[in-house]
Amino acid sequence: MIDQSAPTPGPDSLGTLAILWHGDRLALLDQRLLPDQEVWLTYQDPQGVADAIRDMVVRGAPAIGISAAYGVVLAAIQARVQDDWKTVIGEAIDVLAASRPTAVNLFWALERMKTRLQACQAPDEAIASLTGEAEAIHAEDVAANRLMGRHALSIMEEAPFSVLTHCNTGALATGGYGTALGVVRSLWHANRLKRVYADETRPWLQGSRLTAWELQQEGIPVTLNADSAAAQILRQGEVRWVIVGADRITANGDVANKIGTYSLAILARHHGVRFMVVAPSSTVDMALLSGADIPIEERDGTEVRAVRGVAIAPGKVPVYNPVFDVTPAELVDAIVTEKGVIEKPDAEQMTAMFGRR
Ligand code: MRU
């Protein structure tokens, strides 16, 4: 069971949790409203959870997977009185799988839930078994994040330095602690961090609305910058690592992550700054040979034409809004998962660590 108490800044803090399971309902912190309002929404059916994922109430690859797993439990609770309970739960799994396409953690979590479901003989057994699996997925994510923090520190310099990050990869995006922000947390508590530069991350502003807020809550020094300021910051030499998360890592080490990550990787290589990707192994998709095979989500143009309902572009201007991009493995200096670190990733090292699919 995850500790659901309010965060206390310190080495053991998991940060601000955004997913709370109450045994028969799921509570999600509405990330669309942060940082101005902290509003919790409660879900008792899988369709509601699928909508919450699609509408970005909950976001971030691991958090999406965890929420979907609890969505399957809600389906089992609803279906307990139905003769075709197994079919009904299976249909709910399909609804949850259709919510967002890029983060593979969603499909990985649902696959685990499906395997559990197949072994169940009765509805009550299914509820208990699926609850256990969802809670395990949740707890394993937190444990992986802590481990990744330790692994990452083993390849970084001892003397304090600054880092730059993109999007939000903290407690809000995971079961707690965070991936790339988990590494930031670990660096800070080891007295090895000067400052975090946080890209604001247009268009959804995960960096300004969520990362800056999370880091401030923990007392970790953060400076917010427009995405377009990254080249200038990297040229100045204070930043030694760009540290980001991932939504899917393919068998050759290519990385899909929030739009803008690819350009940051190019900037980092140009300026001699190292580029680290931090993600649990649930983000690794060994079934895809390269990033070219990753489905890239495109979202509505209103996300670019307006900020929080205020127009910043002509109403009818056509918009191209891919929300992820793919960074080729050759631009990645290190991939960190709970299984360890791969430096200069390639297909051979990926297969050695994650096996073949
Ligand atoms: O669209 P989002 O906010 O779900 O995108 C999130 C990201 O791209 C994160 O970097 C990624 O999911 C890793 S979160 C630990």
Are 227 and 186 in contact by the 8 Å Cβ rule? The answer is: no
Amino acid making up residue 166 = H
Task: Kindly give the confidence (pLDDT) of every residue in the chain, 357 residues in length, as a single tens digit, with 9 standing for 90 and above.
Answer: 444 455 677 888 899 999 999 999 999 999 999 999 999 999 999 999 999 999 999 999 999 999 999 999 999 999 999 999 999 999 999 999 999 999 999 999 999 999 999 999 999 999 999 999 999 999 999 999 999 999 999 999 999 999 999 999 999 999 999 999 999 999 999 999 999 999 999 999 999 999 999 999 999 999 999 999 999 999 999 999 999 999 999 999 999 999 999 999 999 999 999 999 999 999 999 999 999 999 999 999 999 999 989 999 999 999 999 999 999 999 999 999 999 999 999 999 999 999 987
Give the pLDDT of residue 1: 42
User: DSSP alpha helices (H): ranges in the chain?
Assistant: 46-54, 61-79, 85-97, 104-118, 123-153, 180-189, 206, 212-217, 230-235, 261-271, 302-305, 347-354
Catalytic residue among 141, 199, 247, 325: 247
Domain ranges of the chain: 19-145, 150-354
Backbone angles phi, psi at 103, to 5 degrees: -70, 115
ipTM for the predicted complex comes to 0.99
Q: Whose CA is nearest to atom 8 of ligand 1?
A: 258
Residue 147, both tokens: 């481990």
> Among 19, 31, 32, 167, which residue has the most ligand 1 atoms within 8 Å of its CB, making it the best to mutate?
167
Task: Tell me whether residue 61 is annotated as binding.
Answer: yes
Give the pLDDT of residue 6: 54
- In terms of CATH architecture, what is 150-354? 3-Layer(aba) Sandwich (3.40)
Task: Tell me whether residue 80 is annotated as binding.
Answer: no
Query: pTM score, two decimals?
Result: 0.97
Q: How far, in Å, from the CA of 312 to the mean position of ligand 1?
A: 24
The CATH code that applies to domain 19-145 is 1.20.120.420
Rounded (10°) CA dihedral 260, 262, 267, 269: 160
Tell me, using a 6 A CB cutoff, whether residue 189 lines ligand 1: no
Give the pLDDT of residue 325: 98
247 in active site = yes
Q: How far apart are CA 69 and CA 219, in angstroms?
A: 32
Give the pLDDT of residue 7: 65
